[in-house]
């Protein structure tokens, strides 16, 4: 059964330069049902509120801005957006990405069989080939499942029925710098809900445009790992085996940027990104007093 109304929720912080591209992409969706768009403004200081007040797509998108500045973080912004939305199905995306035209149709269609559903991202549309080479993502048909624990849906391409969202209490707001998408995906599954994947709900994903910014983001993602392990080890989340850990650091050593390019297939930017991720794990292990590399 299709939802009577879908609520598209966009957590946003200082997104005035990029959000119009996403809003236009939502206006261009081929979805035949009714949907609203909720921009959850997490304390922007760039004039986003004024920009959205009389936006040209307000009527087309049933566009509303809600204030989520009370607590900094994507999780809080999503929770506030969900609380102030009206749809039976919540579709969550980011302000700086761009939904493919069939995104919402595919997401809601797949949701007929699951309590929540995710889709793939592609990096070719919004990034230069160089920037796109710094990160790797699963193929469209593949789920996000790189944790050795449970699969998850990436946060910028996630749909969930309101009933399931409310039963698990929404997003965990203690995760403020990464990992919140894994947490909600895992809590759903551990609570007995189903998480699906549809390759047709594609989101064009905007990467950080500089290597410095990419490395900063990857350190933040890495630092969330020990916190995830603290939260889910009693549910069976494994730590990294010593042998695998040794192989990871050995590969980073052997494939470092001083290695001649003809001897390594790994782009140098990807090496810096992956090394930053592992450095984040070390930092997070110290901060949370939990060894998880």
Which contiguous run of DSSP H or E holds residue 216? helix 211-232
DSSP 201: S
CA distance 58 to 280: 41
Rounded Cα–Cα distance for residues 10 and 39 (Å): 5
Domain ranges across the chain: 5-204, 211-288
Q: In this structure, are residues 221 and 236 in contact, taking their beta carbons and an 8 Å threshold?
A: no
Rounded distance between C-alpha atoms, residue 132 and residue 206, angstroms: 9
Question: Average pLDDT of 197-224?
Answer: 97
Instruction: Tell me the per-residue pLDDT of 59-72, one tens digit each, with 9 for 90 and over.
Output: 999 999 999 999 99
Residues 6+ apart with CB under 8 A from 132: 123, 124, 207
pLDDT at 128 over 60: yes
Q: Is residue 264 scored above 70 in pLDDT?
A: no
Residue 262 has pLDDT above 60, yes or no: no
DSSP lists the bridge partners of residue 8 as 37, 91
Whole-angstrom CA distances from 82 to 55, 60, 79, 293 are 21, 20, 5, 34
Check residue 124 and give its pLDDT: 98
Question: What's the confidence (pLDDT) of residue 253?
Answer: 63
Quickly state the pLDDT bin for 254 (edges 50, 70, 90): low
- State the DSSP code for 144: B
**Cα 173–Cα 134–Cα 73 angle in degrees, nearest 5:** 15
The rounded mean pLDDT for the chain is 92
pLDDT at position 186 is: 98
Instruction: Map tokens 């047709």 to a residue.
Output: 200
Chain centroid to CA 142: how far? 16
* pTM of the complete model: 0.91
Who contacts 75 (Cβ-Cβ below 8 Å, separation ≥6)? Answer: 170, 171, 172, 173, 174, 175, 176, 180
Q: Which residue has the tokens 């609520």?
A: 7
Average pLDDT over residues 116-140: 97
Write the DSSP symbol of residue 261.
G
pLDDT average, residue stretch 203-225:
96
Question: What average pLDDT does the segment 211-231 reach?
Answer: 95
Residue 2 — pLDDT band, cuts 50, 70, 90? confident
Flag whether pLDDT at 109 surpasses 60: yes
How far apart (Å, rounded) are the C-alpha atoms in residues 129 and 123? Answer: 9
Percent of the chain with pLDDT over 90: 79
Cα 133 to Cα 135: distance, rounded to the nearest angstrom? 6
Which CATH superfamily is 5-204 part of? Spore Coat Polysaccharide Biosynthesis Protein SpsA; Chain A (3.90.550.10)
> How high is the pLDDT of residue 267?
77
pLDDT surpasses 60 at 133: yes
Is the model more confident about 221 or about 148?
221
Mean pLDDT, to the nearest integer, of 254-283? 75
pLDDT in tens, 168-204: 999 999 998 889 999 999 999 999 999 999 999 999 9
Place of tokens 């849906």: 153
End-to-end CA distance of the chain: 44
What integer pLDDT is reported at residue 291 of this predicted model?
A: 80
The stretch 200-220 carries a mean pLDDT of 97
The pLDDT score that the predictor gives to residue 68 is 98
- How much is the CA Rg of the chain, to the nearest whole Å? 19
Query: Residue 82's Cα: distance from chain center in Å?
Result: 16
pLDDT of the residue at 245: 59
């Amino acid at each position: 059964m299709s939802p009577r109304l879908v609520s598209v929720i966009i957590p946003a912080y200082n997104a005035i330069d990029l959000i119009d591209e996403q809003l236009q992409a939502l206006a261009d969706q081929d979805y035949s049902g009714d949907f609203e768009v909720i921009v959850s403004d997490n304390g922007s200081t760039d004039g986003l509120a004024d920009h959205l007040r009389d936006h040209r797509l307000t009527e087309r998108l049933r566009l509303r801005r809600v204030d989520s500045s009370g607590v900094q973080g994507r999780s809080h912004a999503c929770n506030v957006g969900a609380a102030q939305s009206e749809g039976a199905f919540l579709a969550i995306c980011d302000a700086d990405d761009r939904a493919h035209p069939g995104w919402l149709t595919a997401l809601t269609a797949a949701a007929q069989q699951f309590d929540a559903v995710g889709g793939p991202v592609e990096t070719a549309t919004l990034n230069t080939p160089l920037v796109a080479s710094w990160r790797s993502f699963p193929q469209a048909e593949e789920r996000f499942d790189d944790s050795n624990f449970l699969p998850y849906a990436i946060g910028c391409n996630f749909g969930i029925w309101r009933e399931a969202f409310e039963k698990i209490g929404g997003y965990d707001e203690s995760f403020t710098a990464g990992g919140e998408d894994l947490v909600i995906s895992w809590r759903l599954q551990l609570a007995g809900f189903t998480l699906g994947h549809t390759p047709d709900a594609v989101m064009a994903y905007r990467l950080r445009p500089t290597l410095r910014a990419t490395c900063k983001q990857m350190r933040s993602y890495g630092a969330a790992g020990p916190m995830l392990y603290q939260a889910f080890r009693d549910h069976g989340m494994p730590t990294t085996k010593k042998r695998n850990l040794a192989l990871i650091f050995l590969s980073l050593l052997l494939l470092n940027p001083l290695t001649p390019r003809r001897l390594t297939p790994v782009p140098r930017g990807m090496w810096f990104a992956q090394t930053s991720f592992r450095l984040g794990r070390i930092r997070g292990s110290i901060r949370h007093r939990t060894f998880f590399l």
